[in-house]
Amino acid sequence: MPARNDAALAFLSARRSRPAKLFTLPVPDRDQLVEILTAATRVPDHGKLQPWRLVVLRGAAFARLADLAETRARELGGDDEKIAKGRGQYDLGKLAVVVIASPKPLPKIPPVEQLLSAGALCMGILNAAEAAGWGANWLTGWPAHDPEFAARAFGCQGGETVAGIVHIGTPPADGPDRPRPEPASLVTWVEA
């Protein structure tokens, strides 16, 4: 039987989602963030493609992106609610890692598998940040899915998309956990 890692299982079983808007300073410094990203990039990556790239947001970048989200919402004819939702995570951001899915044109590795690798990286950053003692929250929001915003904000081009924006900071004290699904209601066992 393989060796169990009870500490890792306990950590994953107790992981909580905390709203990024409640994160405070301090945030990881550059060395701490490199440690998190080094752990996080150990994700499924078919063919060693690294079909993703990372953009780290700090400081004044958040104000610039909040203004850009508002500008883009107005360009799209958005109402006050769309503007507020677009600005939301950027107005309150302290540190975030943007994971850009950047699929490579290789027929033997389908684009969906490359996109899932970027999603796995988002989860890896989330878990590594929390394992290092920080709060982490994976968000996107409508601006991240708008190709024009993604191009202006993060330099996305030619098939690149934002897989996720992982905010990292000092988390609030733990409150109640949200309801979690019961695996028994989601799993089908196939044995023949």
The CATH number of the domain holding residue 133 is 3.40.109.10
Check residue 175 and give its pLDDT: 67
Whether 14 is covered by a domain: the verdict is no
Whether 157 is covered by a domain: the verdict is yes
Whether 164 is covered by a domain: the verdict is yes
Whether 117 is covered by a domain: the verdict is yes
Distance, CA of 87 to CA of 142 (rounded, Å):
10
CB–CB of 49/111 below 8 Å? no
Check residue 24 and give its pLDDT: 95
Whether 126 is covered by a domain: the verdict is yes
pTM of the model: 0.94
The count of structural domains within the chain is 1
Helices and strands in the chain, H and E counts: 7, 4
Per-residue pLDDT of the chain (192 residues; tens, 9 = 90+): 899 999 999 999 988 888 999 999 999 999 999 999 999 999 987 778 899 999 999 999 999 999 999 999 999 999 999 999 999 989 999 999 999 999 998 888 899 999 999 999 999 999 999 999 999 999 999 999 999 999 999 999 989 999 999 999 999 987 667 888 899 999 999 999
Whether 46 is covered by a domain: the verdict is yes
Name the residue range of residue 129's domain: 19-58+95-172
Question: How does DSSP classify residue 94?
Answer: S
Check residue 90 and give its pLDDT: 96
Burial 57-85 (b: 16+ CB within 10 A, else e): beeebbeebbebbbebbeeeebeeebbee
Whether 36 is covered by a domain: the verdict is yes
SS3 content of the chain, % helix, strand, coil (to 5): 45, 15, 40
